[in-house]
Structure 1
Amino acid sequence: MKNLKSKYTIWTFLLCASVLLGACKKEYLNPNGASATDVLSSAKGLTGVTVGLQKAYSTSRAGLLYASLSLNGITTNELISINTGNTNEERLMAGGVQVDGNNTIVLGVWTASNKIIYDADNVINNAVNLADKNYAAGLIAHASIFKAIALGNLSEFWEKIPAGIGLNVGFINRLDGFNKAIATIENAQAVIAANAISTTFLGNIPTGVDIPNTLNALKARYALFAGNYALALTAANAVDLTKRSTFTYDALNLNPIFEIATSTNNVVQPKNINLGQTGVNVPDAGDLRIPFYTVINTTVRINGFGVSTFAQIPLYLPGEMTLIKAEAYVRQATPNLASALTELNKLVTKTPAQDPFGVGAGLPAITGSPTAQTLLDLIYKHRCIELFMSGLKLEDMRRFNQPLTDRKRNFFPYPFAERDNNTNTPADPTF
């Protein structure tokens, strides 16, 4: 990752300088004069960095949120490219060797993830030096959310991920990447357990993100992906399923799904009314999640969390936590199939009115005594529906041993920008 460190430093300081300039009405700052000491040693400067993290993740076509949803969605047949002039989306549609290290969507996910990790580390490592430990706790917890998500994205899309940021860094296994995300979260949880997040900090960041619940939800997600089912179950049980944790948008920061895809109808849209599912995984007739996520406007169009300019996008869905519990019960060392079925039926029978986001299947309960494999098959099916356009399906397809022919790639090649500057870059996967 040659030269990335200096580049990220410049981006971070310029961003923070602009934040500082706008925050103090009677203070005139030179945006080119913000030094590392100025930015990383003050609560105001560190707040600017962590607010920038959220913006870099959740807004624009270059943001990690939109890029990862597109990369995952096209690869797993959730989404289709609808304009042949969009070369990079079209190559993802073709899949296989047509996706190489030049693909700008692949590069975007890689670069955005690594930049977020770098900036988050600056916040986490410097906030500990602040005198106000409650404000510092907020900074560390908020930045840790985005670092964990970035680590998770790298680990979902690549076989190996960078061990850090710098010249010719080494690489670690993707499983270690998930565990690194978990360690980041647990550090944040220990910090806020010792010093509660100050209300002053919460008043200085965008509204919507429920930090404690999001930390537990992400820990549950990545523990599941890492095969740590006991931890996944414990973390999922700690999430308050009545609460919302969302990215909120305004006139300056638009919902990226609506801005780029829904409003233009020129980039991606759902593949079909079945969300790209085939065979036994096709949604049941009457599944109320289909009209939530899709709408017919001549063709199948995006609805749900991409329906409007200011539509909020969840950091996680309550239904994801319920499905994690169901899966963890099946996959733990001593399977508990009865509890797994109970959790799965909570999801299957839930109506839109019973969900904080209005996501509900409203289907009859599953009856009988399903086997472990039957339950896993049903959990996979309902993850594909409940978590449509969440960016998680590719990881699910691998974990549930779905046929390789059902996806366009299994893992992604490393961007040429990385390979050309880092001699430790691993060999590309064959598929």
Structure 2
Amino acid sequence: MKKIKINSIYIAFGLLAFASITACKKDFEDPSRVKIDDALNGSQALSAVAVGVQRTYTLARTGVIFNSIAASGFSSNELKLLNAGNIPELQLSTGGSAVDATNTILFNMWATAYKVVDESNKVISGAEKLGDKGYASGLIGYVTIFKALALGNVSSFWQKVPVTIGKNVPFVDRVDGYKAAIAAIDNALAKIAANPISAQFSSTVPDLNIVNTLHALKARYALFSGQYALALTEANAVSLSTGVSFAFDNANPNVLNTIISSNNVFQPTDENLGLSGALLPDPADKRIPFYTEWKATGTNPPTLRMKGFSQTTITSIPVFLPGEIILIKAEAYARQTTPDLNSALTELNKVVTKNNDVFGVNANLPALTGTYTQPQLLELIYKHRCIELFASGLKLEDMRRFGRPVAEMKRSFMPYPFQERDNNTNTPPNPAF
């Protein structure tokens, strides 16, 4: 299993490249220092900033990982609030009009995502000028993973999004946001195909299994944008025999562990992961004890806690799960122009019966049998996405795509941070819900 470890050699330079996140006018330069474009004219400097991109994406409360999990978790009923004094979490937990443009979880996700896009673009531009094209393709592929993740995340939470960096940039439909992520991935894959990633790059920058991860993300965003044939093709290109994950250490700890250990912010809604009715997990489903546990603190009685990828300060968080890729295939088969329900069921059963997952996410249940209509099969796929991908930040997108009742959501789309509206006259009106 590959864990993306942040090399301390690069952190100092990377932090220089990431001044504090400013208002979302998407003008990230610090006028008091040398322009980053002028400074990044060599492979070492570009590598340092590339690793800094990763750090920014994963960093504690301001990173995209935590904020997307929190925003989706509360809005989709995966998570319950433990302390109403946590105002941003309280807004999302309450939902509806209680979620406003001052919410710092939404602002941090928005601002950090566009910081990642901005710095990724700078690395890509600098890499294009390198003489070592194998090193350049590695850099482009590496930061494109984070650029695609950033664009994909904002497209999951907002109806319209910018896909360019600058002042007063235009907004496009969220589906076009996913397509922009795919276009970035296509560019990176083309660069790598023309000039395979060099051994020097692979020994210098943390191992992301770049090509495999790019195909996985392309499959995800093709599915989210309704391109089912493309999603199936890309999912079939992904190897599921090894996992890629974000690694953490004491200097950059797993923020989910910090939250869960405090038992003061959120925990799973219940042992059923917030699901009910026909969506209730099978009591024998081994993913439930993987993701949750009953744990006592001191003399207090046991309470339900999040487990899974939040167990310790150094527990890694997957970039994608093998089960997600399999479920992408199942959904793509079920939704394509001429649905292939037999193939969809075959793929779904690979998740239902799985007992050898590289991350330990195993349902280990008997295979589903019988004949299912397309709506029935899609509901089963949705159910198993909810369980397999618990607290991944993806459920709110899934709820909209599968047409779940509004009553099951706390919020469907998010209001735009007031910092964006103050600095960009193109900011659309906030959605009603």
**TM-score higher than 0.5:** yes
Distance in 2 (alpha carbons) for counterparts of 1:430 and 1:413? 9
Distance in 2 (alpha carbons) for counterparts of 1:411 and 1:148? 20
Paired residue for 1:293, among 281, 291, 294?
A: 291
Larger RCO (alpha carbons 8 Å, 6+ apart):
2
State the match for 1:21 in structure 2: none
The alignment covers a number of residue pairs equal to 404
Deviation track 1:110-130 (CA, whole Å, cap 9, x = no partner) reads 111111111111111221100
* Structure 1 position 205, deviation (Å): 2.3
Match status 1:175 vs 2:175: yes
* Structure 1 position 382, deviation (Å): 0.2
Match status 1:406 vs 2:404: no
Distance in 1 (alpha carbons) for counterparts of 2:17 and 2:106? 30
The alignment's C-alpha RMSD in Å is: 1.7
* Structure 1 position 14, deviation (Å): 7.1
State the match for 1:215 in structure 2: 214
Match status 1:141 vs 2:137: no
* Structure 1 position 251, deviation (Å): 2.3
Provide structure 2 residue ranges, at least 5 long, that are not aligned to the other structure: 1-11, 19-31, 296-301
What pairs with 1:309-320 in structure 2 (closer than 5 Å)?
A: 309-320=313-324
* Structure 1 position 17, deviation (Å): 6.5
What pairs with 1:226-237 in structure 2 (closer than 5 Å)?
A: 226-237=225-236
Provide structure 1 residue ranges, at least 5 long, that are not aligned to the other structure: 1-11, 19-31
What pairs with 1:82-231 in structure 2 (closer than 5 Å)?
A: 82-207=82-207, 209-231=208-230
What pairs with 1:10-409 in structure 2 (closer than 5 Å)?
A: 15-16=15-16, 35-207=35-207, 209-259=208-258, 261-297=259-295, 298-351=302-355, 354-409=356-411
Contact map agreement 1:178 1:226 (CA 8 A) in 2:
yes
* Structure 1 position 303, deviation (Å): 0.5
* Structure 1 position 37, deviation (Å): 4.8
**What secondary structure is seen at the aligned counterpart in 1 of 2:226?**
coil
* Structure 1 position 142, deviation (Å): 0.6
Distance in 1 (alpha carbons) for counterparts of 2:382 and 2:17? 46
Q: What's the TM-score once normalised by structure 2's chain length?
A: 0.91
Contact map agreement 1:289 1:385 (CA 8 A) in 2:
yes
Distance in 1 (alpha carbons) for counterparts of 2:80 and 2:119? 33
Contact map agreement 1:413 1:429 (CA 8 A) in 2:
yes
Distance in 1 (alpha carbons) for counterparts of 2:37 and 2:64? 28
What is the one-letter code of the residue matched to 1:308?
T
Contact map agreement 1:179 1:223 (CA 8 A) in 2:
yes
Distance in 2 (alpha carbons) for counterparts of 1:17 and 1:161? 24
| TM superposition outliers: structure 1 runs of 4+ over 6 Å | none
Change over 3 Å in CA distance of 1:334–1:14 after alignment to 2? closer
* Structure 1 position 420, deviation (Å): 1.1
* Structure 1 position 36, deviation (Å): 2.8
Contact map agreement 2:13 2:48 (CA 8 A) in 1:
no
* Structure 1 position 309, deviation (Å): 1.2
**What secondary structure is seen at the aligned counterpart in 1 of 2:423?**
coil
* Structure 1 position 15, deviation (Å): 2.4
* Structure 1 position 422, deviation (Å): 1.1
What is the one-letter code of the residue matched to 1:293?
Y
Distance in 2 (alpha carbons) for counterparts of 1:90 and 1:116? 27
Distance in 1 (alpha carbons) for counterparts of 2:334 and 2:106? 34
* Structure 1 position 79, deviation (Å): 0.8
**What secondary structure is seen at the aligned counterpart in 1 of 2:251?**
coil
Contact map agreement 1:13 1:36 (CA 8 A) in 2:
no
What is the one-letter code of the residue matched to 1:227?
G
What is the one-letter code of the residue matched to 2:271?
I
* Structure 1 position 276, deviation (Å): 0.7
Deviation track 1:226-260 (CA, whole Å, cap 9, x = no partner) reads 0000000000001101111111122212112112x
What is the one-letter code of the residue matched to 2:105?
I
State the match for 1:5 in structure 2: none
Q: What's the TM-score once normalised by structure 1's chain length?
A: 0.91
Deviation track 1:365-406 (CA, whole Å, cap 9, x = no partner) reads 111121111110100000000000111000100000001111
What is the one-letter code of the residue matched to 2:87?
T
